[in-house]
Amino acid sequence: GNSVTQMEGPVTLSEEAFLTINCTYTATGYPSLFWYVQYPGEGLQLLLKATKADDKGSNKGFEATYRKETTSFHLEKGSVQVSDSAVYFCALKGDTGFQKLVFGTGTRLLVSP
């Protein structure tokens, strides 16, 4: 079945550092890929998405490119802020019929001033 693997956290960075959170997936066909963010005590918010190979999703300075050849969707940001501290979830949805959203285990990001 479909699955998502994320790097384990926490990822600890200083403000203005470069961020990469790795995400790889296993799926048949052409799934859609998502990054969600969860701030403390809150639900999940969609951060960005990509629906086909080589698509780049971007939002709030975050980017991720759908790489079918490496089955990856790594999240990057050039300069993190303290306010980016949160848990980030990579997720995928299959492309046939009704498919559930499959989540990775989440990666906690801690940014210090």
Per CB under 8 A, residues contacting another protein are 30, 32, 34, 36, 41-46, 49, 51, 89, 93-101, 103-106
Beta-strand relationship, 11-14 and 32-38: unpaired
Minimum distance from CB of 39 to another protein (Å)?
10
Q: Give the dihedral sign, CA 35/36/37/38.
A: negative
Tell me whether residue 21 or residue 32 sits nearer to another protein (CB atom). 32
Give dist(CA 89, CA 100) in Å, integer: 15
Nearest CA among 1, 2, 22 for reference residue 11: 22
Tell me whether residue 86 or residue 104 sits nearer to another protein (CB atom). 104
Tell me whether residue 71 or residue 99 sits nearer to another protein (CB atom). 99
Minimum distance from CB of 105 to another protein (Å)?
4
